[in-house]
Structure 1
């Protein structure tokens, strides 16, 4: 709803829109959207780019990614993963994992990341694909088991957790990113001014400390680079949706 309202706002520099990775998923998952994330907005900048992390329940019988994949292959359909709901980045990350690992794992959607994590901590589901920021405190508290970070490099917040490639699944990279857009038609000088102000804020020691403590790198994309990244994400998740055969409820 927020995106639809922002898309219809006057492009006078008084309205900006902050969204995330789910807006790259929505075009291929939901029919009848009243906005186009690429055509109705001007990309301003990425704000945060925390990687997703594959986490397991405390009682899960596997402690690493190879163990998870081996069990999933030996017992197709027996394991399950929780998500924050159908069509969320958590859900699509799980579907991408299934496609790349060649495994059959049942999807259990919850009504948000909070209920999903509670179910995981209570061993009501076997694993989850979550943004590192929301899982961080539970990993540190020993309430869930980290298996692998879905990034090209290890997280500075959890240097002992291997990347998916190191753990046995090369090419598996997913980010729960957040970004800012302006309505289409917003004057370029205003977009450039907002970009500069956001970059200044992201460069502050306070923001860097908070971002890094939650496993998020501080992104350094120009507006044009973010636009290219967004397009690639839209195309990527459209393919995953098609290949996995998933649809909205």
Structure 2
């Protein structure tokens, strides 16, 4: 019996879709350059981590990895763009720890943090360093706290945006020390640290990896660090806890995410390759020299 025209056409379409789907599933990944989105301007903590891992990731995947800085709105603009991108494994995102707080710090987001992006792996973490410009007459934590108490609100501190770890750590610090500072949010760590070095802002909690060069060059004073123990990269800088504020501990981290719907085998491959890179003793030692832990 002959099939009717509509049924025949429907059968052809079904067969065509099945063939295309099978071909797509068999396409090796990655099949084109990978866009690694950093949702902050160049020069910040997330950007620094991206540039550390980019060459190794290119070698491991056999494909070009392009870093794309998409700063703005505390990292939400870049995250939103990746959330809406094709879930084929060729667009991935690096995020700061503030990502976990987006639902609490932003009243309106055009993407769902828990639904639209999926975790791949954590890449690095480090403590924050309390830094001051040379014009601030305080070389240690005790003197700095006394200064803040003597002039409440006069000292300005920078952050990479509302709800960022820099911001929340400074708020926690003020609560612990019963002091008051004025918050000045920036679009990213790069612009913030430039203004700190230039003396346009007095103080900031900055990730150890970014603080290290400025401290070694003598451009900034390292007052204290927020980890549970002293960083190997800055062994002479005491922790906030050991200077009279027990229990004070903050660590900043960078993680990798992908759009929801990215094939499971792609997520697993990305996770595996990044963990192999971080497990390389030479790479791990290089991170540690910069105050980072993989």
Which interval holds the TM-score relative to the shorter structure? 0.7 to 0.9
The 5 A counterparts of 1:53-68 are 53-68=129-144
CA distance in 2, matches of 1:140, 1:73: 28
Tell me if the contact between 1:25 and 1:89 (Cα under 8 Å) persists in the aligned partners.
no
Change (3 A) 1:104 1:10: same
Tell me if the contact between 2:105 and 2:162 (Cα under 8 Å) persists in the aligned partners.
no
Matched, 1:195 2:195: no
- Which gives a bigger RCO, structure 1 or 2 (Cα 8 Å, sep 6+)? 1
Which region of structure 1 is more displaced relative to structure 2, 84-93 or 72-81? 84-93
TM-score by length of 1: 0.78
C-alpha deviation, 1:206, in angstroms: 4.1
Which ranges of 4 or more aligned residues in structure 1 deviate by more than 4 Å? none
CA distance in 2, matches of 1:60, 1:213: 28
Tell me if the contact between 1:66 and 1:168 (Cα under 8 Å) persists in the aligned partners.
no
Tell me if the contact between 2:133 and 2:196 (Cα under 8 Å) persists in the aligned partners.
yes
User: Of 215, 231, 248, which aligns to 1:155?
Assistant: 231
Where structure 1 has 5 or more consecutive residues not aligned to the other structure, the ranges are 219-249
CA distance in 2, matches of 1:77, 1:19: 31
TM-score by length of 2: 0.67
User: Of 97, 102, 114, which aligns to 1:21?
Assistant: 97
Change (3 A) 1:202 1:110: same
Change (3 A) 1:79 1:154: same
- Can you list the C-alpha shifts for 1:127-148, whole angstroms capped at 9, x where unaligned? 1111111111000011111111
CA distance in 1, matches of 2:245, 2:145: 9
Matched, 1:72 2:161: no
CA distance in 1, matches of 2:90, 2:196: 41
CA distance in 2, matches of 1:165, 1:179: 26
Matched, 1:126 2:202: yes
Higher CA-based Rg: 2
C-alpha deviation, 1:150, in angstroms: 1.0
Matched, 1:5 2:53: no
CA distance in 1, matches of 2:200, 2:91: 42
Matched, 1:34 2:110: yes
Describe the SS at the equivalent of 2:258: strand
C-alpha deviation, 1:74, in angstroms: 3.2
More strand by share: 2
Matched, 1:175 2:251: yes
CA distance in 2, matches of 1:15, 1:86: 26
Residue aligning to 2:66: none
Q: CA RMSD in A?
A: 2.2
Residue aligning to 1:101: 177
Residue aligning to 2:125: 49
Describe the SS at the equivalent of 1:49: strand
Tell me if the contact between 1:84 and 1:111 (Cα under 8 Å) persists in the aligned partners.
yes
Residue aligning to 2:288: 212
